Amino acid sequence: MRMAPEPRPNAAGHLDDDDYPAYTMGRAAELIGSTPAFLRSLGEARLITPLRSGGGHRRYSRYQLRIAARARELVDQGTPIDAACRIIILEDQLEEALRLNDELRRHEGRPDRHTGS
C-alpha cells in the first residue's frame, strides 16, 4: 500500500509574517550585504537567534534581517560589534518604553506625544 505524501505547509500564509524564518543563512547574508560569519557573530552575541530547519540549518525572519542590517550599518560606521549589539538592544527598549507611554496616555485620555491628540 502506498502512503500519501505529507502535506506541505502553506508558505503563502506566511508572506506577511515578519517572524517567519524564511531565509537561509546564505540568502540572509546576501540580502543585508554581509557574510554568513557576520550573521553567526550576531547569534554568538545573542542579538538574534535564528531558528533551525529540520536539518539543523539556520533560518532567519524578516524581523531578524532588519536587526542584522542595523547592526551591519553600525559596524560599517566603525562601531565594534558588541557595542553595536548593545545600541540596538537599547534602541529597541527605548522604542518599547515610548510605545507603552503613548498607550498609557491614550488610556488616561491625555494627548499622544507624537500627534498632540
pLDDT bracket for residue 16 (50, 70, 90) = confident
Report, as an integer, the average pLDDT of 92-109. Answer: 93
Q: Which three cell numbers stand for residue 92?
A: 529597541
Question: What is residue 8's predicted lDDT score, i.e. its pLDDT?
Answer: 45
Q: Return d(Cα 49, Cα 64) in angstroms, integer.
A: 8
Residue pair 73/34 in contact by the 8 Å Cβ criterion: no
Report the percentage of the chain scoring pLDDT > 70: 80
pTM: 0.74
Instruction: Please give the pLDDT value at position 59.
Output: 95
Give the C-alpha separation, 39 to 91, whole Å.
20
